Amino acid sequence: MPAQQRDLRPQGRKTVGQLLDAAVSVLAAMGYQAARVEDIVRAAKTSHGTFYLYFANKEDLLRSLAQECSEDMNRLADQLGPVGRGDDGLAELRAWILDFSNTYQRHAPVIRAWSEQQVQGPEMEELGLQAFDQITSRLVARLEVVARSASAAEPEKAAVALLALLERFSYFRISRRLYADTDEWLDTLAVMVHCGFFGGGRPPRR
Amino acid sequence: MPAQQRDLRPQGRKTVGQLLDAAVSVLAAMGYQAARVEDIVRAAKTSHGTFYLYFANKEDLLRSLAQECSEDMNRLADQLGPVGRGDDGLAELRAWILDFSNTYQRHAPVIRAWSEQQVQGPEMEELGLQAFDQITSRLVARLEVVARSASAAEPEKAAVALLALLERFSYFRISRRLYADTDEWLDTLAVMVHCGFFGGGRPPRR
Amino acid sequence: MPAQQRDLRPQGRKTVGQLLDAAVSVLAAMGYQAARVEDIVRAAKTSHGTFYLYFANKEDLLRSLAQECSEDMNRLADQLGPVGRGDDGLAELRAWILDFSNTYQRHAPVIRAWSEQQVQGPEMEELGLQAFDQITSRLVARLEVVARSASAAEPEKAAVALLALLERFSYFRISRRLYADTDEWLDTLAVMVHCGFFGGGRPPRR
Amino acid sequence: MPAQQRDLRPQGRKTVGQLLDAAVSVLAAMGYQAARVEDIVRAAKTSHGTFYLYFANKEDLLRSLAQECSEDMNRLADQLGPVGRGDDGLAELRAWILDFSNTYQRHAPVIRAWSEQQVQGPEMEELGLQAFDQITSRLVARLEVVARSASAAEPEKAAVALLALLERFSYFRISRRLYADTDEWLDTLAVMVHCGFFGGGRPPRR
DNA sequence: GATGAATGAGATTTCATTCAT
DNA sequence: TATGAATGAAATCTCATTCAT
């Protein structure tokens, strides 16, 4: 079984890296289902056989990518500090949204595969839910600080809504519509989120 | 090729209906790419041959569904009246969001296929963009009424963001999380959107 | 899952038959491992896809053949009546050995696959052992009649040895050596077995 | 191609030994066709590259094993002395059968590959037939001594039958049935063969 | 109108063998 | 001498589409 990377020498490690990178671009461009192993292999400038030397099959590759993604997402969650109502909070938020969007960009294919639930298997499911929960609960924590007064929404639900908003924004950003304008979009989003979710633009809580 | 359904006797119409319904559930469950004609045909309790009696090919089926979807979406856009800052506006908004979400539910597979890109010919592309524009521009019109004062965002960008939010919400609603609680979710969302996008909860513009 | 034959119309039944027949000759000629699906399909004058319409894979085909084989073997066991020490017994035995050998000939590939234990799976194992036991215990029953006096061997062990002898004989008969001479071989074997296992050529038991 | 092992340093000789031993167990377990070089190499705790350092290819390995087997078989043939009708003959026979069976055990995979045909080139064929003839003709010689009177069978045919019996017995012994009981089995077989083929248990020829 | 059967192009996967270190 | 990495030809398997009844 040539599945997971065993120890691997530098050479092998390099090849695995090429394959993973190639997979990211190819999956981003065509989606998981449509991408053929051949496409990935060609992009990685390696051979068909080599692919199966490091991954049991296409799904196994996705699992590897999901692992990476999950780690990055958890890191992202840790990075969001408290978001105050003032301009500092706005700036903090804007930076984090950009970080989120960039991370999403790298992992878009995995996230898409997750949400399209096309690749089953409990392990995948597990990873996806865990990443989702991790980031959601961090958002909840940050939203609770500003509490009721800022919004009628319960923090749990607001967090999910916020995540949805960010995800779609990031998706649109790469998918087709919002090529340019990234800065303006970020401004718009940051203000909107700051104001709608974090009580931005109102007097600080006493 | 016996493509589009021209005039059909009742029997034929029934069969087409079965196929379309089956397609909706199967595509919702597996996505367009992963769904095999066999899956659809089995769900419709009919045969392989019959499928090609009514559709030129798999893509043609998707086109049919997209047609339906596009119509419903346009109708939806027409339904959104002005959204005032008061409780009436909130109620109006809430009702519309529910309508949106239900419509999405039926058409989720098509919308997913639209955003998956890579699947479709120009005709599909056309239908998708048109539906998207239709609904976006109606949102823009409604947002413009409340204008600058309510939000720092330009209406065009805010409309896209709002649509994204609604789409993801609807998606989450059917995909796995948020089964129950629909009412509470609607309340939360309505308030959030009303407040964040339509200046809800502030004094009416002079 | 296109595995086992569901109901099947005449046409389909015919095709399955062609495939099974083709498989028998091809497997006999090349052995299970070496035979490619392509070989079988070509011999059956049908297409690659058709094969997978009726069998999940090569192993599934072998399972089908094993089923047939198992049935024939059981029938064979039932056919062996008592074997007396006189010329009648000899004739009876000779006829049965021929029957055995012919049956073996048809099912040689399956039996070989069984004994080479190359295709695992409990179901296969089960079928093989059951056929083996069935025929062994019938032999034991027949050998017990002539009992100790005829041979020093315990009937159980003698039965296994006899079966081994018959199997190898049948195998050699088709494999390469004993093309011609079948009649003489049968005479030789029958006498040998009659004498060595059934007390042939000695005075009947009182 | 670094085919045959010419002169080897101790290290190299050890590695070849590991490979051959590993091959014996792996081939015994899976058969020649099904065994992958990878399996053998892993069992030998060495690497892919090393394999091809000592053998030109998979078939070359089999050839090496066949060489060994052929030699042992010839030695075995030489070892069978005259088999008298008395208890001495029985003991002689019993010992030889055990020897045969043990030798077979070591070489089972090769013998199986021989009979599987379709695997080998002319050299293999040659080796196999030679070994077979060698041992058969020795058996014929021994059987002729007891001649007609003991059995109605012609010695040539009886020899083949005897060989078949011994081969299958040895095969069953390792394959799955008959684990324990070796001694009893030997007793049974020896008596049976002595009596059925060598006129054992009857008055010596005058 | 309806259906099961058939097809074959194309995707996935395996594995003996060669290569570079 | 030894090894992990790489390769590609060949095998297995899938599935949208066409066919015959």
B11–chain A nearest CA distance, Å: 34
In the predicted model, is pLDDT for residue C177 greater than 60?
no
The confidence score (pLDDT) of residue D1 equals 44
Interchain CB contacts (distance < 8 Å): A and B: 102
From the CA of B41 to the C1' of E1: give the distance in Å.
16
Nucleotides of F under 7 A from a protein CB: 1-20
Q: Specify the nucleotide whose C1' lies closest to residue B36 (CA).
A: F15
Quote the CA–CA distance of D50 and D46 in Å, as a whole number: 7
In this prediction, residue B150 has a pLDDT band, given cuts at 50, 70 and 90, of very low
CB-nearest partner of B157 from A29, A154, A188? A188
List, in order, residues 6 or more apart from B72 with CB less than 8 Å away. Answer: B103, B106, B107
Contact flag A160-B172 (C-beta cutoff 8 Å): yes
Q: Report how far residue A96's alpha carbon sits from residue A141's, in angstroms, rounded to the nearest whole number.
A: 15
Q: For residue C19, is pLDDT > 90?
A: yes
Tokens encoding C202: 């000695």
User: Cβ of D165 and C167 within 8 Å?
Assistant: no
The percent of residues above 70 in pLDDT, for chain B, comes to 85
Looking up tokens 């709608």 gives A196
What does the mean pLDDT of chain B come to? 84
Give residue B55's pLDDT: 95
> How many Cβ atoms sit within 10 Å of the Cβ of residue B1?
8
Residue A149 has pLDDT above 60, yes or no: no
Alpha-carbon gap, residue C69 to C131, rounded angstroms: 8
Classified as helix, coil or strand, C132 is helix
Question: Which two tokens mark A32?
Answer: 């998981």
Average the pLDDT over B84-92 and give the result: 89
| Distance, CA of C172 to CA of D159 (rounded, Å) | 13
Q: What is the pLDDT of residues C72-123, one digit of tens each?
A: 998 998 898 888 888 899 999 999 999 999 998 889 888 888 877 666 677 7
Q: What is the mean pLDDT of residues A27-35?
A: 88
Give the pLDDT confidence of A77-104 residue by residue, as tens digits. Answer: 889 888 888 899 999 999 999 999 999 8
- Determine the average pLDDT of the residues in A32-57: 95
Contact B184 A157 (CB under 8 A): yes
For A164, how many CA atoms within 13 A lie in the half-sphere containing its CB? 23
Does residue C46 surpass a pLDDT of 80? Answer: yes
Measure the CA angle with vertex A155, ends A151 and A156; round to 5°. Answer: 145
Query: Looking at beta carbons, which residues of chain B come within 8 Å of A151?
Result: 191-192, 195
Contacts of D55 (CB under 8 A, 6+ apart): D3, D19, D61, D64
Q: Do B158 and A118 count as a contact with CB atoms less than 8 A apart?
A: no
Instruction: Tell me which residue in A118, A164, A176 faces B168 most closely, judged by beta carbons.
Output: A164
Closest nucleotide to D52: CA versus each C1': E17
Tell me the three-class secondary structure of chain D, residue by residue: CCCCCCCCCHHHHHHHHHHHHHHHHHHHHHCCCCCCHHHHHHHCCCCHHHHHHHCCCHHHHHHHHHHHHHHHHHHHHHHCCCCCCCHHHHHHHHHHHHHHHHHHHHHHHHHHHHHCCCCCCHHHHHHHHHHHHHHHHHHHHHHHHHHHHHCCCCHHHHHHHHHHHHHHHHHHHHHCCCCCCHHHHHHHHHHHHHHHHHCCCCCCCC
Which of D164, D175, D195 is opposite residue C168, by nearest beta carbon?
Answer: D164
Q: Pick the closest to residue D119 from D66, D172, D167, D176 (CA basis).
A: D66
pLDDT of res. A48: 95
Predicted confidence (pLDDT) at residue B121 exceeds the cutoff of 50: yes
How confident is the model at residue B39, as a pLDDT?
Answer: 96
Distance CA D136, CA D160 (A): 7
Per the model's pLDDT, the better-predicted residue between C42 and C181 turns out to be C42
pLDDT value at residue B130: 86
Mean pLDDT for C38-50 is: 96
- Residue B50 has a pLDDT of 96
Q: Which is nearest to B158 in space by CA: A80, A196, A163, A112?
A: A196
In angstroms, how far is the first alpha carbon of chain C from the final one? 62
Distance C38 CA to F11 C1' (A): 9
Phi and psi, residue B70, nearest 5°? -55, -45
The reported pLDDT for the residue numbered A185 is: 82
What's the rounded Cα separation, in Å, for the pair A76 and A96? 8
In angstroms, the CA B129 to CA A176 distance is 11
One-letter amino acid for residue A162 of the chain: L
Question: Is C196 within 8 Å of D191 when comparing Cβ atoms?
Answer: no
Q: How confident is the model at residue B60 (pLDDT cuts 50, 70, 90)?
A: very high
Closest-lying nucleotide for C11 based on CA to C1': E5
> What is the model's pTM?
0.86
Query: Model confidence at C169, in pLDDT bands (50, 70, 90)?
Result: confident
Is B153 close to A188, i.e. CB distance below 8 A? yes
Strand, helix or coil for residue A171: helix
Interatomic CA–C1' length for residue C139 and nucleotide E9, angstroms: 54
**D and C touching (3 or more beta-carbon pairs closer than 8 Å):** yes
Task: Give the pLDDT band (50/70/90) at residue B1.
Answer: very low
The C-alpha atoms of residue A65 and residue A69 are separated, in whole angstroms, by 6
Taking 70 as the pLDDT cut, the residues of chain D under it are 1-6, 117-120, 146-153, 175-180, 201-206
Question: What is the C-alpha separation between D82 and D89, in angstroms, rounded?
Answer: 8
Chains that touch D (3 or more CB pairs under 8 A): C
Phi, psi of C14, deg, nearest 5: -65, -45
Q: Phi/psi of residue D164, each to 5°? A: -60, -45
Judged by C1' against the alpha carbon of C38, the nearest nucleotide is F11
Query: What tens digit of pLDDT does each residue of B170-202 get?
Result: 887 776 555 667 788 888 888 888 877 887 766
Least confident of B156-170, C52-66, C88-102: B156-170
pLDDT surpasses 70 at B206: no
Tell me, what's the pLDDT at D38? 96
**B and D touching (3 or more beta-carbon pairs closer than 8 Å):** no
Q: What is the 3-state secondary structure (H, E, C) of chain B?
A: CCCCCCCCCHHHHHHHHHHHHHHHHHHHHHCCCCCCHHHHHHHCCCCHHHHHHHCCCHHHHHHHHHHHHHHHHHHHHHHCCCCCCCHHHHHHHHHHHHHHHHHHHHHHHHHHHHHCCCCCCHHHHHHHHHHHHHHHHHHHHHHHHHHHHHCCCCHHHHHHHHHHHHHHHHHHHHHCCCCCCHHHHHHHHHHHHHHHHHCCCCCCCC
